[in-house]
Amino acid sequence: MSTILPALFRRIKAPAWQRERLELADGDFLDLDWARRTDRQPRPLLILSHGLEGSTDGQYIKGMARLFLRRGYDILAWNFRGCSGEPNRLLRMYHSGASADLAAVIKHALGFRHYKEIALAGFSMGGNITLKYVGQRSGRISRRIKAAVAFSVPLHLESCAYELALWDRRIYMWQFLRSLRLKLEEKATRFGDQIDVSGLAHMRTFFEFDDAYTGPLHGFKDARDYWTRSSAINWLADIKIPTLLVNAADDPFLGGLCYPAGLARQSPAFYLEVPRHGGHVGFGPADREGQYWSERRAWDFISDFIPPISWPGQ
For the stretch 267-283, pLDDT in tens is: 999 999 999 999 999 99
| The pLDDT of residue 138 | 86
CATH superfamily of 4-156+239-303: Alpha/Beta hydrolase fold, catalytic domain (3.40.50.1820)
Give pLDDT, residue 145.
98
Q: 240 with 164: CB under 8 angstroms?
A: no
Residues annotated as catalytic (active site), given as ranges: 124, 251, 280
Tens-place pLDDT, residues 32-69: 999 999 888 899 999 999 999 999 999 999 999 999 99
Whole-model pTM: value is 0.95
Tens of pLDDT, residue by residue, the chain (314 residues): 455 445 555 789 999 999 999 999 999 999 999 999 988 889 999 999 999 999 999 999 999 999 999 999 999 999 999 999 999 999 999 999 999 999 999 999 999 999 999 999 999 999 999 999 999 998 899 999 999 999 999 999 999 999 999 999 989 999 999 999 999 999 999 998 899 999 998 999 999 999 999 999 999 999 999 999 999 999 999 999 999 999 999 999 999 999 999 999 999 999 999 999 999 999 988 898 889 999 999 999 999 999 986 554 45
User: Quick one: residue 184, left, alpha or beta (phi over 0 = left, psi -120 to 50 = alpha)?
Assistant: alpha
Contact 145, 120 (CB under 8 A): yes
What pLDDT is attached to residue 7?
56
Give the start-to-end residue ranges of the domains of the chain.
4-156+239-303, 159-230
